[in-house]
Structure 1
Amino acid sequence: MMAFESQGLGEDEALARLQTDGPNQLPDPDRRGVLRIVGGVLREPMFLLLLAGGGVYMALGDLREALVLAAFALFSVGIAVIQEYRSERVLDALRDLTNPSATVVRDGVRRRISSRDLVRGDLISVSEGERAPADAILRSGADVEIDESLLTGESVPVVKHPSEGQSALEAPGGPDSAASLYSGTMLVRGQGLAEVVATGPRSEIGRIGKSLRAIETEPTRLSRETRKLVAAAGFGAFLVCGLVVSILGFVRRDWLQAMLGGISVGMSMLPEEFPLVLTVFMVMGAWRISKAKVLTRRATAIETLGSASVLCTDKTGTLTENRMAVASVWIGGEASPWRSDAASQAERRVVDLGALASAPHPFDPMELAFHAEAGPALQAERSLVRTYGVSAGCPAMGQVWRSPEGERIAVKGAPEAVAGLCRFGDAERERVLQAVEQMATKGARVLAVAEAKVEPGPPQGDLAGFTLRFVGLVGLADPLRPGVAAAVAECQGAGVRVVMITGDHPSTARAIATEAGIAGGGLLTGSDLTLMSDAALAEQARGVSVYARILPEQKLRIVRALKAAGEVVAMTGDGVNDAPALKAADIGVAMGSRGTDVARAAADLVLLDDQFASIVAAMRHGRRIYDNLQKAMGFVIAVHVPVAGLAILPLMLGMPMFLAPAHIAFLEMIIDPVCSLVFEAEPEEQGLMRRPPRDPAQPLLSRRALAARGAEGVCALVVVAGVYAAGVSLGLDDGSVRASAFLTLVFSVFSLVIANRTFGSVGQAALRMNRLLGSVGAVVLAAVVAVMTAPALRELFRFGPLNWQGLAVAIAGGLVSLGLLDLLRRATRFRGARTSGVAA
């Protein structure tokens, strides 16, 4: 056993243990490496079709076409891998932002290292205001108190005593855990040296983290809907592709050309953009939401957040500032609001004694509040003699001070405990507790203050040995964060019910809820939940807006009850015991500043600033993302109609193949950035946060929306087919007809883009600003000009010379497409998201 005065581990031994045990961090089983990402992309149907087309061209002896398709395939793979890899970096960004450091003694020298590099046997320095970086045994220290609420739910700090003989960690909260420090717990008082005994997954937090894997993470509704759309379209493409190959093979007796035609048809019908759109929207959405101080751990939760119907939030640090301030003082009669410049001598005495009962250099927010209001010379002529810390059986603490007048002890703590120490009778005790209740109804946390003269003689063993005189009560308020009331009102205007869950006194909880605007619902306590069945709780949860005196483990029951009531639940939390509730919720939201690694690992989103308003900002982004996702998916449906039609119709009519795989691959290079990047950058619709959440049972695209998008695609197909048929009937050469019709198709594609940019009319879409659309349009125009004018590219795509008449016809075709789309929308009385949130 290594004693605390040792030189610590050597660097070589520490490195060897690090390689054996692994880093001091929780493993992430969901993380995907580059090879796994590449493997998933290589199994995509579009990639396989491109390779198949290249193989057919190789068989036909057309090496150039084969290489072009191979280049398109590699380009598609590269884009997809980069986008997927960026999404995997989100978790790494979280680790970089939240990875703490630790002071370790190695080779007799103290140094700061990353806490992930700590190993068993390391000697670490722990001090007030820091979190324990690993499970450890306290070897030396003075006045060490630990806040273990993240593990036990108990907010009262626990006194720790050094032990040189203890070798194993005891269970938190137990009678034998006086020397045990647990990873993630906060030192609120004292300092010392501790020996690390467990790191990473072997720590107490790590063991709880492992149990989270038993809770299955359900795929989001959007993911399930997208899979169904892709599966249905893929199955249809497979059937039509097989039919085309069979017909052409048997009729024309040219099976290689038949396979080439079938591949073209398959590529034209396969909506491979769906997974791409979903990936890009989630990655870009995570980036945009990060600007609102919300880090996205699981990007697919973004769309779920936009459809949340209940937002469950902590009080302390989320709705409030987690910064205590003296708000009121009671010395009998009515409690008086605290004003430092107008306080009476008796009121000043209560606050000064509260400061004397606090640590001389505090970290705890309550003790900081007492010191902020105490007289500046309070401790100038006094010296600290002895401290009596908080114990499990007595939630009060006292400090003995020596002054020229002698020794006196100042005590502060829970009113019930201090009343007991003052040996109150029933009547006096009831009078004090009534005052506590009245102060709590104003949102204050109430502490009692007492004092006594210390008689000469041996020190008392505990506070019960003193004859204490009750002095008064102090109400400490945690101010509401600026902007919380406005954010709550915005949620309620959006049809999202805000529910506050706290461990505070019911009266305090109700007062804070009222101040924040969380009103109009019932209140349940933790003891109420204990007596209720799950079915009864699910029924009651529909009308409850405040839960008080709630233990962390009861949050999971609340989440399950709300989900059983049909709600889409967002839940905030920071402690280890909050992790199961965070994972079970539809959207788990962890605290970045004061949360544990386990809570962050279980959550979908992490608040970097711990502010409620950031959740609401993320919700707004989520709704905008979902709207734009509807527009993008609708565009994909619409644009595949003319592409598939132009691939199938010439083959069925016995005409030369109009769209070869190279043409379709080129179109995909246009469609992909438009349907992903351009639609993702669309601004939000008017009234975004003045409409109710989307019905969870409502599909991404309704049948009416699918029919409307299909009709838009038919309009574009009719225009392009008309240009193609007119060219053939006029006796133009095949290359010129193909060039003019293909350019008309490109313009029609952009007409579909404009029409689908908003849930309003085409005229409204034209007025919306989107700089990315202009950039993408310029790149596409340059590519089209190159294809139409460069001889080598023109030959590759089998285009003939395009004269000004052909160009004019193509531009006119694009304008006609746009006009038809506007008429179609007016005819179908298109409304969209301003009323229902769903494109018609």
Structure 2
Amino acid sequence: MTMNDAALDRRDSAARHRLDGLTAAEAARRLVAEGPNTLPDRTRRGWRAILGEAAREPMFLLLVGAALLYLPLGEPRESIFLSLMVVLMLGMTLYQEGRTERALQALRDLSAPASTVVRDGHRQRVPAADLVPGDIIVLTEGDRVPADAVVVETSGLLADESLLTGESVPVGKRAGVASAPPAPPGGADLPWLFAGSLVVQGDALAQVTATGANSELGRIGAALGAIRPPSGRLQQETQTLARRLAVLGLTVSVLLVLLLGWRSGNWLQALLAGVALSMSVLPAEFPVILTVFPAIGAWRLARHRVLTRRLAAIEILGSTSVLCVDKTGTLTENRMALRRLWHAGACHDVVPGMPLASALRDLLDAAVRATRPQSSDPIEEALRQAHATQPARPARDARVDMVREYGLTAKRPAMIRIWSDGSASFAAAKGAPETIAAMCPEEERAPALAAAADMARAGLRVLAVAEAGGIVPPWPDDPAALSYRMVGLVALADPLRADIPAAVAECRRAGVRVLMVTGDHPETAAAIARQAGLADGAIVTGPEIARMDGEQLAARLEGVSVCARIVPGQKLEIVHALQRRGAVVAMTGDGVNDAPALRAANVGVAMGLRGTDVAREAAELTLLDDRFPSLVLALRAGRRIFSNMRKSMRYVAAAHVPITVLALLPPLLGWPVLLYPPHIVFLELVIDPACSLAFENEPEEQDLMRRPPRRHDESVLDRRALLAALLRGMWAALLLAACYGWALARLPVREAGATAFAALILCNLGLLLSHRQRGILAALRTVNPVFVAIAAGALGLLATALWWPPLAELFRFAPPPGRWLAVAVLTAAAMLLGLQAARAVGGER
């Protein structure tokens, strides 16, 4: 049974509705008039909102309070200085938060949905925000409807409108006109589509009727926009720690104020000392770290074609222990080409551009008849391309049309389509060799399966093709009931990407297991696994998985490197089985049926080029180029971001200890108060950019990708790490207290204070240096221009505070003798040597 090229393409031509759509100029005019097709974005913050939030932070309230306290003390210079510092720190906050907001906005722009629209007679991909009423949009299975619309033409369209109705059962849609008001969402056999609904089956052309706030979804958008996602684990843990430290600081500050006020009778000075102590204890940098690092890190990833849709994924990437990856398009180049045909017991290589023999052409015709005309599947596209290069055949069966289609299912991985010329009908089937062979006579099975196995061992993707004739209506519910005959096999090649072996090897060095999950024949999967460097593990197949329960599957997956003949629903079982054994799983996927597995995985990874909207929405990451090395790059970046966040938070915890001790200890011992609010502000000018900018720009450590994955429940600042940071800070505090006490015994008060403050600044820079890398020498060898700039700026400000009379008077300093500056340097050096010795003895990282 054959047909000419015109008959093969008839349905394709009918599906391409010749609506020209709007012109680009008209669409631009309507966009100005109607506004963008977006809902109000409550997550976007302008500079006024950023400044408003910053001005309500406790640190700024304490600064303003201290500036006001200096006025009744008759010290207007201190009040003016603190007021200027308030403005300066607000400016720094605006810069840091603005940079974060710009990074988040860049991510929003990249992750904004796109739609296929007909304009000027051509299909083009445009941002969904640019849609206007009157646009003709193209919808296929897996698309999210971008605006309210009326169906112009459809082929078996089913839409899930549960977002609007709460009803999970999809409803069918038919073509209609936009002459009447739309019915409410949820109605079956109606022409109306609504923004936010999901196409679960079929395809359609639809004309946009309402966009943005005028759509059905827009009318409830205010309620949706007010919903804020819950805080992540890191945020919750850090907020708890910050609250505890704030309560501790406030309690100690109140006690200090009472003690100094009772001792001296000068309650305003006592209140200033208490404010300084509160500022020294308050860990205002923690929220900055938790905001800046993930946002800037996600922006850096986006520059490498990896889009982070949920910032919480940054935290999880560093602990990922298993990468479950698709073969086609991820490990391979996703450019299938027909390479070999098998017919009547013989294999024939396909030479591009050479016409096929008549029997082989019949085999290719049958394969194309079992192929959708507009499918984006690379195998079906390759078959259509191979068919298009063959010369036209004499017109036969010109009136044959496709009348029934049976899509792929989990139990039947085959596409079957029934064709009819009005008097006679026949079926064309294409699918997994074992599935097609099972529907054919027994004597045809063994040769076909043997040939399929041989070609699969060569790394080819093999499909069997069969036909059934003499069919009469009504069409059966189960196409397997038809009488098929084996036509032959088609084999296609999808070469491995050249950079895959190196990326797989890098994962192995990092202790991350790579598990290939594919629907291919086991032999084909094994051939690709050998090329990729995954040949040392076992292979498990989908039919085997179907016979196992969860615990059996979890045990079976130990030591497995390839899962073959997997149907989409089994991806979810694989994720759960791996997680049952404590694995942190990243799973790739691109189809509608992959969404549950992507959602269940610790990190879902969608394909940006070939993935559906549903897959992208379910995933935390989107690979914009569909490349596995990009996923490995994201893994590396996730480890670096988490490592630098941990270093930064440890530095902040350590740096606050000597400041707190020097704010509290002198009054308790009866020494002159060393730190007042201006001194704390000076220190914050060092700590704030150091904890965010310096550590965010810190290069990764050399062995970062040679370490095993961290535990998924490991905190960025657990008790052990917090205790170690506090001990480092306490070591610095003891040395600084000794330095101040020694200077007070031999120098005037102002010179002693200047010496101790210089030592405090140097120790702070030493703590910053010691937390950058594992070991001081490694930190000195690692180039970080931001650290150099912060250190130079801090030393420049210190020199100004010591030797510029107006600022020295403000800080109550007098320039110390040179030998006492050497004492300050030696104090910082002793601190560094002690930290290095403790690291060597304790093996701390």
The normalised TM-score by structure 2 is: 0.78
Give the 3 Å change call, closer, same or farther, for CA 415–350 of structure 1 in structure 2.
farther
Give the 3 Å change call, closer, same or farther, for CA 621–387 of structure 1 in structure 2.
farther
Tell me if 1:414 matches 2:431: yes
- Which of 28, 47, 50 is 2:63 aligned to? 50
Offset at 1:574? Answer: 3.3
Tell me which moved more, 160-169 or 704-713: 160-169
Q: Show the 5 A alignment for 1:396-411.
A: 396=416
Report SS of the residue matched to 1:495. coil
Tell me if 1:270 matches 2:282: yes
Give the conservation status (yes or no) of the 8 Å contact 2:194–2:217.
no
Report SS of the residue matched to 2:405. coil
User: How many residues align structurally?
Assistant: 799
- Which of 291, 298, 306 is 2:310 aligned to? 298
> 1-side partners of 2:213 and 2:618: how far apart?
14
1:778 alignment partner in structure 2:
792
1:671 alignment partner in structure 2:
687
Give the conservation status (yes or no) of the 8 Å contact 1:69–1:662.
yes
Give the conservation status (yes or no) of the 8 Å contact 1:267–1:664.
yes
Q: Show the 5 A alignment for 1:267-666.
A: 267-333=279-345, 335=347, 338=350, 340=352, 345=357, 349=361, 353=365, 357=369, 365-370=378-383, 373=386, 376=389, 378-379=391-392, 385-386=398-399, 388-389=401-402, 391-393=404-406, 395-396=415-416, 413-414=430-431, 424-429=440-445, 431-436=447-452, 439-440=455-456, 444-449=460-465, 471-504=487-520, 508-519=524-535, 545-548=561-564, 550=566, 552=568, 555-666=571-682
- Which of 723, 726, 732 is 2:742 aligned to? 726
Report SS of the residue matched to 1:284. helix
> 1-side partners of 2:429 and 2:594: how far apart?
30
Report SS of the residue matched to 2:664. helix
> 1-side partners of 2:55 and 2:569: how far apart?
43
Offset at 1:593? Answer: 2.6
> 1-side partners of 2:539 and 2:124: how far apart?
50
- Give the fraction of aligned pairs with identical amino acids, expressed as a percent: 43
Tell me if 1:69 matches 2:89: no
Residue identity opposite 1:792 in structure 2: P
Report SS of the residue matched to 1:392. strand
> 2-side partners of 1:578 and 1:29: how far apart?
30
* 1:390-444 residue CA offsets vs partner (Å, 9 max, x unmatched): 843372459999xxxxx999967336799699x9533224543554455456554
Tell me if 1:817 matches 2:821: no
* 1:566-593 residue CA offsets vs partner (Å, 9 max, x unmatched): 2222233334554454344332323223
* 1:531-573 residue CA offsets vs partner (Å, 9 max, x unmatched): 6555555555555544455555554554444434322222333
* 1:642-679 residue CA offsets vs partner (Å, 9 max, x unmatched): 21221112111222211111111111101111222222
Give the conservation status (yes or no) of the 8 Å contact 1:335–1:439.
no
Offset at 1:261? Answer: 1.0
Give the 3 Å change call, closer, same or farther, for CA 794–48 of structure 1 in structure 2.
same
Q: Show the 5 A alignment for 1:677-756.
A: 677-701=693-717, 705-732=721-748, 734-756=749-771
Give the conservation status (yes or no) of the 8 Å contact 1:184–1:596.
no
2:840 alignment partner in structure 1:
829
1:157 alignment partner in structure 2:
none
Report SS of the residue matched to 1:829. helix
> 1-side partners of 2:321 and 2:575: how far apart?
12
Give the 3 Å change call, closer, same or farther, for CA 660–434 of structure 1 in structure 2.
same
Tell me which moved more, 531-540 or 647-656: 531-540
Residue identity opposite 1:659 in structure 2: L
* 1:62-95 residue CA offsets vs partner (Å, 9 max, x unmatched): 4442343343334334433543454445554345
1:227 alignment partner in structure 2:
239
Report SS of the residue matched to 2:307. strand
> 1-side partners of 2:543 and 2:44: how far apart?
40
Offset at 1:359? Answer: 8.5
> 2-side partners of 1:618 and 1:90: how far apart?
17
> 1-side partners of 2:707 and 2:717: how far apart?
18
> 1-side partners of 2:548 and 2:457: how far apart?
26
Offset at 1:58? Answer: 3.8
Residue identity opposite 2:378 in structure 1: P
Give the conservation status (yes or no) of the 8 Å contact 2:340–2:348.
yes
> 2-side partners of 1:181 and 1:702: how far apart?
47
2:10 alignment partner in structure 1:
none
> 2-side partners of 1:255 and 1:606: how far apart?
59
Give the 3 Å change call, closer, same or farther, for CA 19–343 of structure 1 in structure 2.
closer
Give the conservation status (yes or no) of the 8 Å contact 2:554–2:577.
yes
Give the conservation status (yes or no) of the 8 Å contact 2:367–2:430.
no
Give the conservation status (yes or no) of the 8 Å contact 2:322–2:585.
yes
Offset at 1:713? Answer: 2.8
> 2-side partners of 1:779 and 1:176: how far apart?
70
Residue identity opposite 1:781 in structure 2: L
> 2-side partners of 1:639 and 1:315: how far apart?
49
Tell me which moved more, 559-568 or 517-526: 517-526
- Which of 247, 251, 255 is 2:263 aligned to? 251
> 2-side partners of 1:179 and 1:316: how far apart?
36
Offset at 1:193? Answer: 4.8
Give the 3 Å change call, closer, same or farther, for CA 110–728 of structure 1 in structure 2.
closer
1:156 alignment partner in structure 2:
none
Q: How well do the aligned residues superpose, as a CA RMSD in angstroms?
A: 5.4
Tell me which moved more, 631-640 or 88-97: 88-97
Residue identity opposite 1:73 in structure 2: V
* 1:10-63 residue CA offsets vs partner (Å, 9 max, x unmatched): 99x999999999965688786667666556544433223223323322443444
* 1:754-798 residue CA offsets vs partner (Å, 9 max, x unmatched): 2222113x2332222222222222222332333333332222222
Residue identity opposite 2:790 in structure 1: V
Give the 3 Å change call, closer, same or farther, for CA 181–277 of structure 1 in structure 2.
closer
> 2-side partners of 1:787 and 1:25: how far apart?
52
Residue identity opposite 1:289 in structure 2: L
Give the conservation status (yes or no) of the 8 Å contact 1:576–1:596.
yes
Give the conservation status (yes or no) of the 8 Å contact 2:756–2:824.
no
Give the 3 Å change call, closer, same or farther, for CA 604–57 of structure 1 in structure 2.
farther
2:808 alignment partner in structure 1:
794
Segments of structure 1 that go 5 or more residues without pairing to the other structure are 152-159, 402-406, 833-838
Give the 3 Å change call, closer, same or farther, for CA 365–122 of structure 1 in structure 2.
same
Tell me which moved more, 350-359 or 565-574: 350-359
> 1-side partners of 2:255 and 2:379: how far apart?
76
> 1-side partners of 2:325 and 2:48: how far apart?
39
Give the 3 Å change call, closer, same or farther, for CA 543–206 of structure 1 in structure 2.
farther
Tell me which moved more, 301-310 or 366-375: 366-375
Report SS of the residue matched to 2:840. coil
Give the 3 Å change call, closer, same or farther, for CA 297–475 of structure 1 in structure 2.
same
